[in-house]
Each structure stands twice: as C-alpha cells, then as structure tokens.
Amino acid sequence: MLKFLLLVNKQGHTRVSQYYEHMELEERTNMEAEITRKCLARSDDQCPFMEFKNFKVIYRRYASLLFIVGVDSDENELSILEFIHNLVETLDRYFSSVIMFNLDKVHMILDEMIMNGQIVETNKNRILAPISVLDEKPTS
Amino acid sequence: MPAPGKLRDLIRTIRAARTAADERSVISKECASIRDSFREEDNDFRCRNVAKLLYIHMLGYPAHFGQLECLKLIASPKFTDKRIGYLGAMLLLDERQDVHLLVTNSLKNDLSHTNQFVVGLALCSLGNICSQEMSRDLAGEVEKLLKSTNSYLRKKAALCAVRIVRKVPELMEVFVPTTRSLLTERNHGVLVCGVSLVTEMCRVNPETLSHFRRHVPTLVKTLKNLVMSGYSPEHDVSGISDPFIQVKVLRLLRMLGKDEESVSEQMNDVLAQVATNTETSKNVGNAILYETVLTIMDTKSESGLRVLAINILGRFLLNNDKNIRYVALNTLLKTVHADYNAVQRHRTTILDCLKDPDISIRRRAMELSFALINASNIRGMMKELLTFLVKTDVEFKSYVTSNIFLAAEKHSPNKRWHIDTMMKVLTTAGNFVRDDTVPSLIHLVSTSSELQGYAVQRLFKAMQNDISQQPLVQVGSWCCGEYGDQLFVESEEDEALNLTENDVLDVLESILYSTHSTPTTKEYALTAVMKLSTRFTVTMERIKNIINQFEVNMDVELQQRGVEFGSLFKNHDSMRSALLEKMPVMESKLAPEPVTNGEVSTQPTPPTQPVIETKEVVVEQKPPKQASETLLDLLGGGSQPEPTLAPVQPPAPAASSGGDLLDLLGGLDLGSTNAGPPPMNMMAPSPAVPNLLDGGGLLNPAGGGMQAPLQMNHEQIAPQNQNQDFSSGFPSMTAFENNGLKVTFAFDKAPGNHVVSIMVTATNSLAIPMTDFVFQAAVPKTFQLQLQSPSGNIVPPNNSGTVNQEVKVANPQQQPLRMRLKLMYKVNGAPVNEQGEVNSFPPGL
C-alpha cells in the first residue's frame, strides 16, 4: 500500500503532496523535509530505495522533479518504480509543459490512479477520460 | 470587497519570496484575506479560495479553517465546485468527528447521483477519508455500487470497500458475496481493485483465507492469461501485459498458499510459467520475477521451483541494474535461513557485491556474507571480509568487527587461526572493536597454553609497529605482562625476534607515555611492567624506576597503582613473586553459573585464604555493587542493603574499589608504620578500577565475560551454589516482550527460605544484535533485591543466544511480589529504553 506521494523539485520545494494515511501537520512537514533532504543527497549510483522509519521510500528523478513514494515494507520496489513511470507518462500526456499551476488537475489524475493507497487504474486513456470530459464542458 | 487574486498569482508571489520569512508573511496575508472572504459568504470565489488554501496546506501551513468551506462546495450543485470541495475534503479533513458527520450526508446524496463522475468523486473521497462511523453509514451504498454495471464506478467502489474493511472489519461480510464476480472481471481496473479488496480481507481476517482459497484456480487462470496473451495494447508496459495486476495476483496467491500444501500445488505450474516466460531485459519483467520469487519462497512450492527461484536471484545479482541487485540481496537475506544451501551457491557473487559502488548494496551484501559463514568456508570468507574491513566505510567497521569475532568464535577451525584473525582485525580496525573484544581475546590466549608464546610474540611485533590501536595495545600489554618470559623463546616457524628485555620495556614505556594511549591502556601497560619484574632478570632497576615515576602521576588510578606497586617492592618483596604469579586460566564466559558473591551461604571468608584470592574477591564485587547502586536509583534511595545477603562485604553504595584496595593493602601492611600510602584517602570513586594484578581483564563490569577468577574462589566458599538449577516448582514466565526483546523469568526457591532466585533470560528475535543491554529491576520497599552481573551485554539476533542474569529477591514479610523493570539496549546504535511492570508472579514466591 502507498502511504504518500510527493513531487519535489531540486531545491527541495514540495510541488504536490498527497497522503493516504492521516498525519499531523507538523509531523508531516518534518517528515517531508527529512525525506526530501535524504533523497536529494543521494547520488546516482545509489539505489532509489531507502528504508525510512518503518516504511520504504522509493523515488525516481525526472529532469528537475523528484517523485517520491512511501510504501509499506512489503511492497515490491520494482513495480512501484514502474508505477511512478506510468504516472509520469500520464502526466506528461495531459500536461504539455508546466504542471505547477494546475495543482487541482494533478490531484484529479492522481485520484484516478491511486485511491486509498491502492492502484486503481493504469490505462492512460481511462485515467484521463473524466478530466477531458471536464475540459470539454465549458466549450460545449 | 475586491475579487481575490488568482491561484496562479499567489503561486508566483510565493515563489518570488526570497526568504522563509517573506514567504510566511505573504501566506499570512493571503490567509487573512481568505478568511475575510469566507466570512462574507462569498459564493463566487469560494472555489478559488479553497484552491489557494490547498496550495498553502501543501506548503505545510495550517489550513483547517477551510474545512467547512469544503463542505459547502461539496453541497453545491456545480461539478467544478464539487470537485474542488471533495479535493479539499480529502486533503484538509482530519479524523475529527463533527465535520465528518456533515460530510456523510453529502456523500450519501452524491453516491446515488445520476452523473457517474459525481459518484466517482464521492467514491474517491470516501475511499480516502472514510472513518468508522462513515463506514457503518455508507457500506450499503458502496455495496450497491459494487454490483453496478459501470466499471468506472465498480473499481472505485471496490477500493472504498478496502477502506471500510480496514476500518470496521465486521462489515466484511457485506462485501464477501460480490468478490467472486470481481475476481472474474475482464476490465483490468476492476480486477486490480477486486484483488486488492480480497487481499485486504485476507490480511484483516485470516479466517477468510480458507474461503478465498477456492478462488485460487480463477486467479491462476487470470495470471496464465496475462503471461501467455502476448501483446495487449491497453495495458502494455514495455511488452508485458499489465504488470501491476500480475504483481497483485502473485501477492494474493502468496497469502493464500502460505503453509498450504494443496493450494501451493495448484500454483506450481503457473509460477513456473511466469518465472520462465517473463521477459527480463526491462525493469518491469524483473518486478514480476521478483514478486514470483517471493511467492515461491513463501509458499510450499516444490523443490525444483525453489531452486529456480534462488537461481533467478543469483541472476539478479549479476544484473547491471543496481536496483535489481538490491532487491536480490534483500530477498536472499530473508530466505537465507530457509534455503541455506541454495543461497550458499551464490556466495562468490554475493562477495563480489561487497565491492559495489552503492552503499546500501554493500551493506546488504555484508549482512548476507556473515549469514553465510560456516565451518567449511570460514577461511575463504574471512579473507574476503578482512579485505572488506580495510576498505569499508567507517560506519560499517564496528558491525564488521563484532561479526567477525562472533563468526570466528563459532566456526574457527583452530585456535591459532582464531588468534590470527582477531589480531588481524585489531591491527586493521582496532579502534572500531567493541569493548568486550579485549577480554575475549585475553581469554582466548589464556586458555590456549600452547599458543601463548606464539601469541605474545605476534602481539609484541604488532605493537612495535603501531601503538595507536588501543585494544591491540591492551591485549598486547596484558600478554607481555603474563607471558613476557616467552618473548625470548625461539619459535620454530617465525624468524626469531631477537629481543632483549630492554626492547620490551622500551615498547611498554612508549605506551605509557604515548599521547594515543587512553588511561585504561596505560593501566594495562603499567601492570604489565610490574608483572615483568618477576619474569625479567637484568632490568629490575629500570622497572622500579618506571613504577616510581607513576607514584606521582596525575591520573588517580595510575598513581594508585604506582604507589601500591612501589610499596610491594619496598615492604613486601618476599610476597612479590607470589602475588605476580601468572593468572590462572580463565573459565569460559559461557559458564552457566552466574557470579554470586556467596551471599546465600552465611559462611564468612576463611581467614586463612591466600592473599591473592582475597584480592580477587574484593575486586570482583564491583558488578553487583554497581547494580545495587542503580537499583537504589530506581527505588529513589529506599532500598536498604540486606546484611544477610552479603556476608563477604556489605555493599556500600558509594564505595569504589579503591576503598577495597585500601582495605587490602591495610591488611598487607599490618605492623608497618611507614607504608600506608596517604594518597589513598583522596581517592575519588572511579567507575571501573581494574583488577590490580591481573592486568585489568575485568575492566568493564557490564562488558561481561571474565568472571572466572571469582568462580574459582567461589568454589571454595560455597560449593553448594555451583550446581544450582532453576527447575524448582515454580513455572517460568515471560516478564516482558516487545520489539523483538523477550525477557523470561525462571524461579528457584528453597522451601522455608524467603530468598527467591530469579534467572532472567533475555532473547532477541530481531535480525540484528542488541548491544549494551542492561537489565534493571526494582521492587517495593518491603523486599530486598540484588542483581548479579549479567552473562553479557549483547543479546544475539534471531534468538540465537541469550543473556542471563540472576536476581535475588528477599521477601521477609512474605508478601506477593511485584517488580518494575527497566531495559536499556541499543539496536544499530540507536538507544532503546523500555519499562515494564510484572505483577503476575507465581503465588507462593
């Protein structure tokens, strides 16, 4: 099960965060900062897997964005890596450039893909269908 | 009121903020205006404001005041409002009940909305934030949607059900009937969610496992179809059709097949198919193979399949991708105990991983290498590990050294090899070894009489090269002191050292004055010099000189030694050679009988006892006394020493062994007026004053181990204690169990006696050792309690060993016993403190 998903830039600023387990605000910010710092400090010849407290952190870097996922310790690391890639491809297909200003859309896509920490859908067309319906609405 | 700025502008302003303080002020200003706008019930811009708030929340600022606004948005008929409202609910709502109650009604309405996207939104939010109350209220709606024909809704409803089952397990039966159709579903989204639901049900309630086992053929068929289907454009990930479902199904099969022979048998074929037919050039394929391996290992798969699985892992180890090497090592670590021999075959590959550029891979390879050491491969493995030790990261060194010692102790082919290995470790990474290494190497040398000459010569040579490695120097000094005469014996294989007595003293003296040397090391060296005074012949004057110089040393302990040794020369020269005899061979620290001070026996120390043994008794009393001091702490000073418990010497809490030594020398100096060494009186309590004459092998009371001298003495005082066993009429009990640490009590009580002996046994089920383990106990004031020294301070991992400690409790008023426990230890260097209370002692204690 996924515990949280973070999108962080190279400077360590959070761009998107979604939690699937309730966490107090302060604890959340501290943990976010610590994980981001650790991930950014790792070099390319290190595995993108980390053990953090009682769970695992898996991250993948795309240009200047770091996708960080926290998972239960029995989760398959390699398949999570693949899932991150799937997510990136989906985002890439929908947003031509900056995703920064469209936080709500990113969340909408995330909600189509992950719910309650479980994978819902990995087919890109189906993921994007509801959002494109929404996008068409104003014009029609 | 002017229209609030756009989210986009807010983001720009925040990003433009130069400092954290700037950012905070921008945000607090924005929050203030958002609050104002909320207060005015501004419906047009509520959506925009909440969106801004979500951004602010993401940055880690409090945004809870937006919760109610989210609810208002959810209740709005507009889809765009609803969307942001639900998003806000998912992000901002915590488990507070009153808000949840309000949202439940809106959810209920939306779940039966005619627009599938509205229902989808509601389901998604419910799946993410559902509480126990909401589960009870809305389970019916979710179940209805699970049966809908719309796959978009079914998949989301399935995941809602996952959440509900987790929150309120008894609602599970609502959903069980629908699972069958979910598992036969063709739509991948629904199927993957259905599998998640079944997995969750099995996890929450293991009783449902038997129900779902009948679905194994269905799952097997699904998996087979996925593997054999070839290209399916909808769910293809680099040539593999829907790896995510494959992984999920494999995991569910693992749960269902665990410990079930017949179920595992049904899976053999498909697992073999997946293992052989999966394309492994890409990460995806390896993800599936990895999951397959885990399933094979965890179920009762046939042996051929298990070999196949280990071989896949072996191939993983050779893979170029570091991630795959990492998971391979991780998995091998988990399975090494179950499939020991199969893993052994990949030993060389694993050893190669010790040189991997990635530190996490090196760490796992290192752990695995130690797990693989056995008597037949230890020579080769040790060679590799010693090379690894030289180059490895500082943070690994102490792990490597202590594990090398453990392995060497367990599997060493012969003592000479054992001594060589330990010395190699001490010379390469001497300053990284744990404290108990010194006594254990000393013990090793002292018990192998035929190798003492060899060892002392090797050690001396090493000391001639380098005196900065403290543990090496300590062992070396001790050996020089004890076996200095053997330094000059020609050994057959090594070229002769051609030493003179002065060479030896040169080295010892350089240790005494080196800035590298710790006080402890100097104490070892000084004692060694003293001991050499009976083994050397021509350098007597030089030895006296060295000793004399220390009579005025700044260090209290060294000064004390200097003065005492000096007075041996001056006043008791006749006793000197007897006092400086070789230490008797120490018994193993694994001797079952813990140290007792003979306290149960009321016999006083026989006055005719030889001096040297009295001395050992006196020094040996430190550990129990320390224990009683800590106890005193625990009880807030309420415990009184029980005189009948310690006839040899009542434990005076603040007494240092310096005081004991004073006693001793006072005894020695009977009748002589000039000898009572005055500096003694200013002696501060020194925590670990080592044994005066045996070279400080007992330096660390908690470090455990070298308690044999007392035992020898103890035999004379109270032989009846020697074979005490703990199998008396009282059942043993588990006093404490948490985080892998288990502490059990076994009782022994002689009828009519009000003193109970409790044998405390600590075991560790974690995969890593617990170090610096300290057990403390406290009892109410009507009891008296005495802790003996423990058998060690390291609890070995995987229940592979124990730490024993005897506790004596006197219960003069025959009241029911209660005890409070305090346990301290370190795991991976991180300190852990645990407390517990034991109230359920067997009656009659």
Evaluate whether B228 touches B272 at the Cβ level (below 8 Å). no
B49-68 residues touching A, CB cutoff 8 A: 51, 54-55, 58-60, 62
Q: Quick count: other Cβ atoms within 10 Å of Cβ B193? A: 32
β pairing state of B803-810 and B741-749: unpaired
Is the CB of A100 inside 8 Å of chain B's CB atoms?
yes
- What residue of A is the nearest CA neighbor of B235? A123
Is the CB of B239 inside 8 Å of chain A's CB atoms?
no
Residue B95, pLDDT score: 63
Confidence of residue B452 (pLDDT cuts 50, 70, 90): confident
Whole-number Cα distances in Å, B733 to B231, B573, B761, B786: 61, 55, 10, 19
- Give B378-413 pLDDT, tens digit per residue: 888 888 888 888 888 888 888 888 888 888 888 888
Report helix, strand or coil for B339. coil
- Give B692-740 pLDDT, tens digit per residue: 444 444 334 443 333 333 333 443 433 344 444 444 567 778 888 888 8
Which position has the higher pLDDT, A102 or B269? Answer: B269
Alpha carbons B21 and B24: distance in angstroms, whole number: 5
Chain centroid offset of residue B621 CA:
30
Contacts B236 to A, Cβ<8 Å: none
Alpha carbons B623 and B704: distance in angstroms, whole number: 9
Do A116 and B162 count as a contact with CB atoms less than 8 A apart? yes
Q: Which helix (H) or strand (E) holds B759?
A: strand B755-764
Å between A58 CA and nearest CA of chain B: 11
Do A25 and B60 count as a contact with CB atoms less than 8 A apart? yes
Å between B92 CA and nearest CA of chain A: 10
Q: DSSP of chain A, one letter per residue?
A: -EEEEEEEETTS-EEEEEESS---HHHHHHHHHHHHHHHHHS-TTS-SEEEETTEEEEEEEETTEEEEEEE-TTS-HHHHHHHHHHHHHHHHHH-SS--TT-HHHHHHHHHHHEETTEE----HHHHHHHHHHHHHTTT-
pLDDT reading at B672 higher than 60: no
DSSP B836: E
Question: How do the residues of chain B divide into helix, strand and coil, expressed in percent and rounded to 5?
Answer: 60, 10, 30
Q: Which residues pair with B745 in a beta bridge?
A: B733, B760
pTM of the model: 0.66
Both structure tokens of B722 = 């020697």
Q: Considering just the CA atoms, what is the radius of gyration of chain B in Å?
A: 36
Å between B626 CA and nearest CA of chain A: 35
Do B247 and A108 count as a contact with CB atoms less than 8 A apart? no
- Lowest-pLDDT range, A48-57, B271-280, B484-493, B735-744? B484-493
Helices (H), B637-751: 657-668, 708-717
Residue B843 neighbours by CB under 8 Å, 6+ apart: B816
Å between A22 CA and nearest CA of chain B: 7
β pairing state of B733-738 and B741-749: antiparallel
Confidence of residue B684 (pLDDT cuts 50, 70, 90): very low
- What residue of B is the nearest CA neighbor of A5? B58
Q: Considering just the CA atoms, what is the radius of gyration of chain A in Å?
A: 15
Evaluate whether B10 touches B55 at the Cβ level (below 8 Å). yes
Q: Quick count: other Cβ atoms within 10 Å of Cβ B60? A: 17
Report helix, strand or coil for B139. helix
Average pLDDT, chain B: 77
Buried b or exposed e, range B745-772, using 16+ CB within 10 angstroms: bbbbbeeeeebbbbbbbbbbeeeebbbb
Residue B157, pLDDT score: 92
